[in-house]
Amino acid sequence: MRFKKLNDGNEIPMIGIGTWQLTEQEIGINALKYALKIGYTHIDTADIYGNQDIVKEAIKGKNREKLYITSKLWREFLDPKLVESECDKALMELDLDYLDLYLVHWPDRTKPLAEISYEMSKLKEKGKLKSFGVSNYTINHLQELLDQGIKVAINQVEFHPFLNQSSLLDFCNRHSISVTAYSPLARRKVFHDPDIKQISKKYSKTGGQIALRWLIQKDIVVIPKASSEKHIKDNFEIFDFELSISDMQKIDEIGKIRPKRLINPEFGDFEY
Catalytic positions, written as ranges: 49
CB contact at 8 A, 159 and 129: no
Q: Quote the CA–CA distance of 99 and 80 in Å, as a whole number.
A: 18
User: In the chain, where does DSSP find H-type helix?
Assistant: 25-38, 52-59, 83-94, 113-125, 139-147, 166-174, 194-203, 207-216, 229-236, 245-257
CB 31 within 8 A of CB 232: yes
Instruction: Give the DSSP H/E element, type plus range, for residue 235.
Output: helix 229-236
Strands 154-158 and 99-104: unpaired
Report how far residue 41's alpha carbon sits from residue 79's, in angstroms, rounded to the nearest whole number: 31
- C-alpha–C-alpha distance, residues 261 and 271, integer Å: 12
* Residue 232 near residue 238, CB atoms below 8 Å: no
